Structure 1
Amino acid sequence: MCILFIYNAFDDHESDYSLIIASNRDEYYDRATKNMCSWEEHPHVYGGRDMEASCQGTWLAYSTLQNKVGVLLNLPGVKKVNAKSRGKIVADYVANNLTTNSYIQTIQNYVQDCNEFILVAIEFRNTKPMIQSYNNATNELEKWDEACVGFSNSLPNKPLKKVDEGKRKMKEICEDHKQLKNKKMLVEKLIDLLKWEEKHLPDLELQKKKPNDYHWFSSIYVAIPPVRYGTRTHTVMLVTKTGHVDLIEITLQSPVDISKPEWERCHFQFNMKHDNEM
């Protein structure tokens, strides 16, 4: 169970930013994970890695070469026998130079053997970001033009209550801290959002997805100590209209001590190059 918020400020002439991302990855504390880094086989790709998957896929990655971001969110449902890796989809998407539309066409056979998921894909082929989502449950590819969008573990047209509440707060944060001089406060407020523990109930959609333990998953920040599961990674990405990128990851360090958790922070900075600059 994960969550993602995206604020598209490109058309806000008072904002110094074109795009702002805030995301949580929820996972079992003991699942082997590598912190965000540049990948040896694709040095232009930055992302964490799932070390227990044979393909060492990812839940979120950014390519400085392709100017693409990919984020994966699982959809709870029936588990397929010998299901293929969903994390491979994000890794392959950001590493290649295909548009989102073309990439989705190439993976049609592969995704039939995957458990259900949502891929959120962001392209910066021009200065304006393009946000799209694809899910293999309904085989729909959608484009999102709203200023603020959110995704979690339900179909985009059936958002969880915590997504709606998070979008409201995300919008307020991004509108209140839209100038570069307020970047430090913007990052702090986004991390506060990702650590928000308030339960957003009742939520009938969440109850359908998680009938026995929905209350654990009703907050943006998830913590389920009895099964050693919860939010392990916060990711914040800021993209200015001049193409400067701040990519920040805050990760719960392993082995996880629930009574005294330790978090490690890494911060990468880039300057985007667009097609007409290459």
Structure 2
Amino acid sequence: MCLIVFAWQVMPNMPLLAAGNRDEFYDRPASPADWWHDHPQIYAGRDLQGGGTWMGVTRDGRFAAITNIRAPSEMRSDAPSRGNLVLNYLAGEMTPADYIQEISAYATNYNGFNLLIGNTSELIWYSNRGEKDERNGKPLKQGMYGLSNSLLDCAWPKVVSTKAEFASLLCQGAPEDAFFEMLSDTTSASDCRLPKTGVSLERERLLSAVCIESPDYGTRVSTLVKLQNGQPPVLIERPAIAMPPMPERAPHRGQCTKGF
């Protein structure tokens, strides 16, 4: 994912509500969200190049998601796929804290990332960049949060604006469609508000939109996840409005249910 806004322990009986966009090159192969034949407990989309995923849930309520940290000068072409960090948590049985402790021993082998892992009772943010808290993992307290391609709650325009709209939709009790409309905003931020991440000004403008569109790269899917007390998790995925028509990206809705 390249943008995730989420409410943790804010709503009664719904510990987590998360909404996010996955930005990627259009020619990188991926499959829509579904149950995985080799890991039947996992419901997620799949990166067919790296083998992992960007966001997913399990039948018993585990949740994980990842965003890349934009740092072109630090990118290594031989680094392992970050999507496997999500997959390995979802496929395993470790607690979030134990999993963070395990991966911290080799996390510097990866290009920069933010990892969210948890369940209905705890949620941890971990990054292999940043200060001590980020590198040790940070259990999150009740609140509203936003992640893009920098550290948690960075003041990037699309993080700030989307968090505000997300909070407003929650207060209104808005339907699911409203959250997907929020994620479809293609407006770029003004130049004076753009971050400086080591890419060109033209690229910063392009990447500043909530929903990115360009000839070869952009927002491919939008996802809504709900973790609810006493109920199976829900993951709903839709192709982004900016995504060029592709047969394998037909509209798709997924809802995890017991015995599915």
TM-score (norm 1): 0.81
Q: What is the match of residue 276 of structure 1? A: none
Correspondent of 1:110 among 103, 106, 113: 106
Q: What is the match of residue 201 of structure 1? A: 190
Q: What is the match of residue 120 of structure 1? A: 116
Q: Secondary structure, in 3 states, of the residue corresponding to 2:85?
A: helix
Relative to structure 1, the CA distance from residue 196 to residue 140 in structure 2 (aligned partners, 3 Å threshold; closer, same or farther) is farther
Q: What is the match of residue 84 of structure 1? A: 80
Correspondent of 2:208 among 214, 218, 229: 218
Distance in 1 separating the partners of 2:103 and 2:224: 28
Relative to structure 1, the CA distance from residue 209 to residue 148 in structure 2 (aligned partners, 3 Å threshold; closer, same or farther) is farther
Q: Which moved more, 1:242-251 or 1:215-224?
A: 242-251
Distance in 2 separating the partners of 1:247 and 1:25: 14
Q: Secondary structure, in 3 states, of the residue corresponding to 1:266?
A: coil
Relative to structure 1, the CA distance from residue 84 to residue 245 in structure 2 (aligned partners, 3 Å threshold; closer, same or farther) is closer
Correspondent of 1:38 among 35, 39, 49: 35
Q: Would you tell me which structure has more strand in proportion to its own residues?
A: 1
Q: What is the match of residue 122 of structure 2? A: 130
Unaligned 5+ residue runs, structure 2?
none
CA deviation after TM superposition for structure 1 residue 81, in Å: 4.3
1:99 is aligned to 2:86 = no
Q: Once the two structures are superposed, what CA deviation does each residue of 1:72-120 show, in whole Å capped at 9, x if it has no partner? A: 1000121124111111100001111111111112113332211111001
Distance in 2 separating the partners of 1:60 and 1:93: 11
Q: How does 1:49-88 map to 2 (within 5 A)?
A: 49-53=46-50, 56-65=51-60, 67-77=61-71, 78-88=74-84
Q: How many residues are treated as equivalent by the alignment?
A: 251
> Match of 2:219, as an amino acid?
T
Distance in 1 separating the partners of 2:39 and 2:98: 20
Correspondent of 1:267 among 219, 242, 254: 254
Unaligned 5+ residue runs, structure 1?
178-184, 273-278
Q: What is the match of residue 182 of structure 1? A: none
| Contact 1:152/1:159, CA 8 A, preserved across alignment | no
CA deviation after TM superposition for structure 1 residue 19, in Å: 2.3
TM-score (norm 2): 0.86
